[in-house]
Amino acid sequence: MATGRGVVVGIQTSPNLEGLTATVVRVALEGAEDAGAASELLNLRKMDIQACKACNSGWGTCRTEGACQIPDDFAHVHNILNNSLAIVFGSPVYFGDLSEVAKCFLDRLRRCEVNFRSSSRIRDKPALAIVAAGGSGLGVNPAIRNLERYFRWLKLRTTETFPVTQKHLARQQEQIYLAGKKLVRAARAAG
């Protein structure tokens, strides 16, 4: 693993590690690597990321310290994001929305950032948003809007969004690759 300040972190939340979502996140990371950045792919489905437990009447250490007190892999992933150059986030589309794992992770991340948004280490970090529908593709629009809403709330700087479908995959892969390259340029220009 190449964790560190010059790393573009790809997060993919599909159980299918060789499926559409994982593929397009990897394509974005290839673009980032070809632009001179190191990359790291995190498969959240292979990690222990539990649902928020609303500790202490809904505001545990996430509110007071910006850190979740649940002993799972969330803190590790949060730390990787804090130290990354940029972020690629990919979710499959389930029932017209993000995957349950994506929402679970993003909900906890949002709680940890709520009182620290002005001093957040992910604030203004360039981020690429991808949702991938393997079926009809009808759910990509509401899913990408939801992911964009999370990004806005977290104060990530969305560089591009991609609602991916099987039907348009070949054309979109080239665009996603180029977006991965642009993501690195945007991060270096800001940093």
Torsion angles phi and psi, residue 97, rounded to 5: -150, 180
Kindly report, residue by residue over 46-101, the tens digit of the pLDDT. 999 999 998 888 778 998 888 999 999 999 999 999 999 999 999 999 999 999 99
Structural domains of the chain, with CATH: 12-190 (3.40.50.360)
Kind plus residue range of the DSSP H or E element containing 168: none
In sequence order, what are the beta bridge partners of 89?
11, 129
Torsion angles phi and psi, residue 2, rounded to 5: -115, 40
Q: How confident is the model at residue 102 (pLDDT cuts 50, 70, 90)?
A: very high
Distance CA 46, CA 7 (A): 20
What's the maximum distance between 2 C-alpha atoms anywhere in the chain?
A: 48
Classify 181 as helix, strand or coil: helix
CB atoms within 10 A of CB 58: 11
Length reported for the chain = 191
Predicted structure pTM score: 0.93
